[in-house]
Amino acid sequence: MKKYSLAGLGLLLAFSAAQAESPEAEKFYDSFAGTVSQRANQLFLKRCDLTAYEYPMHFNHAEDQSKIAGYLKRYPKFWVNILGDVDAEKEVYHLTVEEVSELHPGESCHLTDLLDELTAPAENPRS
């Protein structure tokens, strides 16, 4: 009986180890909307929410970084929707970008920018 118990335990441990070594489990990412800026060769995403937190951006795919850098050169104002993951490093949250899902050139997603536009005087008032 002990032989069967030990054999069963051995199979269970072997199965558990095989599961642990199986291909990476599917990872889920969060959606982040914000505007992008650059300081000292570092891209930052300023989140479009009440906190307006600025995340240093890191990219899993070089083509996404090139796409964002290109937009930053062409458009003075744009916002982006990103799938990514946030990690804390030395009390600073860093955003790792998995995918750039949407780009909105010529627009901002910040409420303060909308309020500024609404309260700005008209450039060509009618007489």
Angle (CA) 114 117 122, round 5°: 160
For residue 110, give both structure tokens: 């910040």
What pLDDT is stored for residue 6 in this prediction? 46
Instruction: Kindly list the distances between the CA atom of residue 104 and the CA atoms of 46, 60, 82, in Å, as whole numbers in the listed order.
Output: 15, 21, 12
User: Mind listing the pLDDT tens digit for each residue in 80-117?
Assistant: 999 999 999 999 999 999 999 999 998 888 877 776 77
Q: What fold is seen in the domain 30-119?
A: OB fold (Dihydrolipoamide Acetyltransferase, E2P) (2.40.50)
What pLDDT is stored for residue 120 in this prediction? 77
Domain limits of the chain?
30-119
